[in-house]
Structure 1
Amino acid sequence: MQPNTSPYPDPSGTLTGRVLVVTGAASGIGRAIALTAGAAGARVVVSDVQREGGEATAERVRAAGGEAIFVACDVSRPDEAQALIEAAVARYGRLDVLVNNAGVAGGGKRAHELDIGAWDAVLAVNLRGPFLCAKYALPYLMTSRGAVVNVASTYGLIGAPLSAAYCASKGGLINLTRQLAVDYGPDGVRVNAVCPGYIDTDMGGGRARLDPAERDAAQARREANAARQPLGRQAQPEEVARVVVFLASEAASFMTGSIVTVDGGCTTTFNHG
C-alpha cells in the first residue's frame, strides 16, 4: 500500500485489512466514510445507485493509496442487496463491516397530504434497505465478528415539521439497530448507529436542482437553523465519517446498541429560534 497522504486520517484504531461495505457512497457522508475508511486501511466496497459518483469515490480512495471497488446497488431490492454483499465477499474473501448509509429525504407535506407512494419510497430505502443489507451481511459478520454501523438521523430522535416518512424511517432504523445488537451480540457482532444533524451536504441533490437564487436561499435557511444550536454551525461530512470509522474499529470494542448523535448539540436543547 502506498503511504497515506489522504486528508482523511485514521481517527482511532485501525481498519487495516478489514473489508468494509458502505452504501450511498457516491457523495456526501457516504463518500467521506469511504475515504476515511480507506485512509484507515480498510478495503472499501463503495456502493450507490449513482454509478458515476460511486466510481469517482472508489477512484479517490485508490488515488489516496487505499483499495476500493464500486458495486452498483439499489438497497431496496433484495436481489441487488444480496448481490452487493456477495460481490464484496467474492472480491476480498470476507466481510468485516457494513455501513448502511444510503438514504433519501422525502418531505415537504403533512401526513394527510403525503402521497402513499412517496411514503413507501422513503421507507424502502431508509429502513427496508438497511434491513436487507444486514440480512445478507450478518452471516459473514458472524464469522468475522464484525460490525454494522447504521447512519440514522436526529430526525429519528425527534419530531420535525413536514417529515412524516423520513422521521418514521430513521426512528425505525434506530430501533432496528438496538434489536440487531441484542440478537447478534452473542455472536460477537456489534451494531451501532450515528445520528447526524445539520451536515453540509445536498442530500438527494435537491438544492442542485434549484435555480441559483432559490439554492442560495435554501442554504441560508439551513445555515441559520444550524447557527441556533450549541456549536453554532453545520458539520462537514468527514466529521460524521470519523465517528463511523471509530464505531467500526476495535477502539469501540465494547459499544453495541449505541445511538451516537453527531449534531452539534441540536438535540440537547429546544430550538428557541
Structure 2
Amino acid sequence: MSPQISTDAPGTSASDQLTGRVVLVTGAASGIGRAIALAAAQAGARVVVSDLQPEGEQTARAIVDAGGEAFFVPCDVADAQAVEHLVAETVNHFGQLDVLVNNAGISGGAQLAHQLEVDAWDRVIAVNLRGPFLCARAALPHLIAARGAIVNIASTYGLIGAPLAAAYCASKGGLINLTRQLAVDYGPQQVRVNAVCPGYIDTDMGGGRARLGPAGQAAAQTRREANAARQPLGRQAQAVEVARVVVFLASGAASFMTGSVVTVDGGCTATFNHGS
C-alpha cells in the first residue's frame, strides 16, 4: 500500500513556504547559516539559531526585530551532550521540530595531507561529519513525528578533489553519502534528507579571512574572485542564493525530493577547470 501524500504542505510562495514549521539552523551566526536562518524566518518559520559563536544572538535578534520568532542556543555540534541540549531546548520552546539544517562547518586550513596534524584532521571531521550525525540522531525522533526534513550543507569539495583540503574534502564527501543513507533509512517514515553543495560563496568561512589583516584580506578576496571568474556564471554567489535553495528543499515544494545532492555552484562542477 502506497503512503498517503500530505495535502496540507505549506504553500510555495516566498512568504509562506515554511509557515507553521520550526526550523533549527546550526552555524547560523554568520555567512550561509545566517542567510538560511533569515530566509527561513521570511518564509514563515519559527527559527532556532545555533552556533558556537555568540554572534548567533544577533541573527536571532534580527529575526525578532523583523517581526519573526527566533531564539539563540549556543552549541558545539561535535559535543553529543550539547547537541541533545540544543534539540531539547528547541522542542521545549516551540513544542516541535520540523526541519534541521546542518550548516555548521569549518575549513581546517590549507595543508598537504602529510603535513596535516592529526588533531586538526580530527577537529574537521568532528565538526563537519560527526556534528551532522549527532544533530540528526537527536532530531530524528521529532522529525519522524513531524514528517519533517533535514538539509545538510555539504560542498562542491565533497564532489571533487580539491587542493590542500584533505580533511575538508573527506568530511564533506562523507556528509553527502550520510545524506543518501539517512534518506534510505527514514524515507519510509516520510522524513526527507537532502544536501546542498555550495561553490564559491562570498563569505568568510570561520573568520579566516578576517584574521589576515587588510592586505591579506584583499589578496584572499582577489584570489577567490579570480577563481570564481573561471566558472560558467563567472562570479561568486551571495549567501542568500544558497539560502533560497535550502528553504525550497525544506518546504513542501520539494515533497518528492530525498537523497538529492543539489549543487549551487555557478556551474563549477560541470566544468574541468575548478580554479585553485
Fold shared by both chains (TM-score > 0.5): yes
- Cα deviation, residue 12, structure 1: 7.8
CA distance in 2, matches of 1:172, 1:118: 17
Instruction: Confirm or deny that 1:21 pairs with 2:24.
Output: yes
Native 8 Å contact 1:10 1:36 kept in 2: no
Matched residue type, 2:101: V
Task: Give, in angstroms, the shift of residue 272 of structure 1.
Answer: 7.4
* Candidates 252, 264, 267, aligned match of 1:265: 267
Say if 1:12 and 1:246, in contact at 8 Å, map to a contact too: no
Q: Which amino acid aligns with 2:142?
A: Y
Give the Å deviation of 1:13. Answer: 5.6
Report how far residue 63 of structure 1 moved. 1.4
The amino acid that maps onto 1:143 is A
Match of 2:231 in 1: 229
**2:28 counterpart letter in structure 1:** A
Work out the CA distance in 1 between the residues paired with 2:15 and 2:243: 12
Counterpart-to-counterpart distance in 1, 2:82 and 2:13: 30
Count of aligned positions: 264
| Aligned residue number for residue 3 of structure 1 | none
Report the CA distance between 1:11 and its aligned residue: 3.7
Q: What is the alpha-carbon distance in structure 2 between the residues aligned to residue 93 and residue 162 of structure 1? A: 44
Sort the Cα spacing of 1:271 and 1:189 in 2 relative to 1 into closer, same or farther, 3 A: same
- Partner AA of 2:25 in structure 1: V
Q: Which residue of 1 aligns with 2:248?
A: 246
SS in 2 for 1:69: strand
Quick one: percent identity of the two aligned structures?
74
* Deviation by residue 1:241-262 (Cα, 9 ceiling, x = unmatched): 0000000000000000000000
**Cα distance in 2 for residues equivalent to 1:11 and 1:260:** 20
Match of 2:49 in 1: 46
Residue 40 of structure 2 corresponds to 37
* 2: CA distance, partners of 1:272 / 1:222: 11
Q: Which runs of 4+ in 1 moved over 3 A?
A: 9-13
Cα contact 1:10–1:37 (8 A) shared by 2: no
Q: 2:76 aligns with which of 67, 74, 77?
A: 74
Can you list the C-alpha shifts for 1:130-168, whole angstroms capped at 9, x where unaligned? 000000000000000000000000000000000000000
- Give CA deviations for 1:214-252 in whole Å, capped at 9, x if unaligned: 110110000000000000000000000000000000000
Partner SS state of residue 260, structure 1: strand
Other structure's SS at 2:196 match: strand
CA RMSD across the alignment: 1.3
- Residues 14, 42 of structure 2: 8 Å contact kept: no
Residue in structure 2 matched with residue 166 of structure 1 by the alignment: 168
Q: Report how far residue 211 of structure 1 moved.
A: 1.6
1:131 to 107, 130, 133: 133
Q: Deviations over 1:10-56 (max 9, x none)?
A: 648611111000000000000000000000110000000001x1000
Instruction: Tell me the TM-score normalised to structure 2 length.
Output: 0.94
CA contact (8 A) 2:15 2:42 kept: no
Contact kept, 8 Å, 1:226 with 1:233, in 2: the verdict is yes
2:4 is aligned to none
Amino acid at match of 2:130: R
Match of 2:155 in 1: 153
Instruction: Pick closer, same or farther for the CA change 1:165–1:144 going to 2, 3 Å.
Output: same
Q: Evaluate the alpha carbon distance shift between residue 122 and residue 85 of structure 1 in structure 2; reply closer, same or farther with a 3 A threshold.
A: same
Task: Provide the C-alpha distance between the structure 2 equivalents of 1:257 and 1:272, rounded to a whole number of angstroms.
Answer: 25
Query: In the alignment, which residue of structure 2 is the partner of 1:6?
Result: none
Q: Secondary structure at the match of 1:16?
A: coil
For the 8 Å contact 2:227–2:274, the answer to whether it is kept is: no
Matches within 5 A, 1:77-88: 77-88=79-90
Alpha-carbon distance in structure 1 between the residues aligned to 2:66 and 2:155: 29
Give TM-score, length-normalised by structure 1.
0.95
